[in-house]
Amino acid sequence: MRKLVLQKKMGRIRRSVQIDAAAPVAGRLVPLQEVADETFSQGYLGEGLAIDPDSGYAASPFDGIVSHIADTKHAVLIRHASGIQVLIHIGVNTVELQGRGFTVLVKTGEAIEQGQPLLEFDLPFIRQAGYSPFAIVIAIKDPLIDAVNCEYRSVRMAEPDVFRIVLKQDH
């Protein structure tokens, strides 16, 4: 869903479009800085959040298109109608599992709906293999993105309006 938001910044009115996104994974939202991976925690790929998962499914945060699926099945990239892309990455360094413990439920290029399951992952297997299972959700860097906002709390998979991607539109 897109919303128009008016903000006052440095003495001028600024219009921005806000993309309200659903929780891709059930669990506890935490700041991205708590993820033990510098690429994510330092925001090199973009702003976002992490979820300490309660279950082994990841769903689409909004209607869009699957633009990429990692060969190792641990990550999927979703493109919103605005052109913004969101990465859903399961676990820290889980690329090393070479796809073991992951099942992809969609195909690259597929149109998907908010809440549609994308990935299934074996949470006990990931933990037993010694990997952090955080679900990392990143709005890939784009000059249109102003901010990614959320309230840190427990969420259900596909719960609507869990995080917001604010897009710049100066006028």
pLDDT of residue 73: 98
pLDDT of residue 16: 62
Tens of pLDDT, residue by residue over 1-27, are 444 444 444 445 555 689 999 999 999
pLDDT of residue 60: 98
Residue 117 class from Cβ within 10 Å (0-12 exposed, 13-18 middle, 19+ buried)?
middle
- DSSP for 23-64 reads -SSSEEEEEGGGSS-HHHHTTSSEEEEEEEESSSEEE-SSSE
Angle at 77 between CA 163 and CA 116, to 5 degrees: 65
| Encoded tokens for 62 | 């909004």
d(CA 154, CA 139) in angstroms, rounded, equals: 20
pLDDT of residue 170: 62
pLDDT of residue 15: 57
Point out the catalytic residue in the list 68, 74, 80, 89: 89
**In the annotation, is 74 catalytic?**
no
State which residues of the chain have pLDDT below 50: 1-11, 171
pLDDT of residue 169: 77
